Amino acid sequence: MTTADQAPAPATCGWMDAWLTAFETAAADPVMLLTGERLLDRADIGQVHINPGTAQATLTMPNAARPHQPCLTIGPLPSPEWERVYQAIAATGEHADVIAAGRLPDALSDPANADVIRIAPAPGDITFTCSCRPDPGICPHTAAVGYRVAQHVRANPGVLLTLRGGSIKELRTMLRESTSTATESAAVPEHARTGIDARLAFGRLSPRPTRPRPARAHTTPTSLLDGLRSDPPAPGPTAHSMRLLTRNAAARASEILAGGPHPAGDDPVQDAARLLADPAHRAHLEHAAEQLGLSTLQMRDLALAHEYGGAAGVEVALWPLAADAEVLAHAEAAIQPHRPARLASLVSQDNQLTDAAARIQLRLGSDGLWYPFTDWHGTWRPAPGPSGDPAAAYKAARRTLRAR
Angle at 161 between CA 159 and CA 163, to 5 degrees: 70
Asked whether residue 207 carries a pLDDT value surpassing 60, the answer given is no
Closest CA to 89 of 201, 11, 210, 14: 201
Total number of domains constituting the chain: 2
Residue 90 lies in a domain: yes
Per-residue pLDDT tens digits for 212-255 = 444 444 444 444 444 445 666 666 666 656 656 666 666 656 55
Please report, as a single letter, which amino acid is at residue 30: P
Taking only the tens place, the pLDDT of each residue in 111-170 is 445 445 567 888 889 999 999 888 889 999 999 999 999 888 887 777 888 888 877 677
Query: What average pLDDT does the chain have?
Result: 75
Give the pLDDT score at 254.
58
Q: Please identify, among 157, 182, 205, the residue that sits at the C-terminal boundary of a domain.
A: 205
Question: Among 63-67, 131-135, 377-381, 390-394, which stretch is predicted with the lowest mean pLDDT?
Answer: 63-67
Give the domain extent around 352: 325-403
Verify that 43 and 173 share a domain, yes or no. yes
Residue 242 included in any domain? no
Q: Quick one: average pLDDT of 354-363?
A: 95
Q: Residue 289 domain-assigned?
A: no
What is the maximal distance between C-alpha atoms in the chain? 101
Number of other CB atoms surrounding residue 9 within 10 Å = 18
CA-to-CA separations, 183 to 69, 188, 191, 198, 328, in angstroms, rounded:
50, 9, 17, 14, 72
Residue where a domain stops, chosen among 172, 205, 238: 205
Residue 254 lies in a domain: no
26 and 164 inside one domain: yes
Q: 352 vs 13, which has greater pLDDT? A: 352
In a domain, 78, yes or no: yes
Rounded to whole angstroms, how far apart are CA atoms 250 and 247? Answer: 5
pLDDT number for residue 97: 59
Angle between helices 296-318 and 268-276 (to 10 degrees): 120
Return d(Cα 53, Cα 109) in angstroms, integer. 19
Q: Is 49 within 8 Å of 57 (Cβ atoms)?
A: yes
- Chain length of the chain: 404
Q: Would you say residue 266 lies in a domain?
A: no
Residue 80: count other Cβ atoms within 10 Å of its Cβ: 8
Within-domain flag for 312: no
Kindly state whether residue 106 falls inside one of the protein's structural domains.
yes
Query: Where a domain ends, among 156, 184, 205?
Result: 205
Residue 19 vs residues 123, 226, 354: alpha-carbon distances, Å? 9, 42, 44
pLDDT (mean) for 368-390: 93
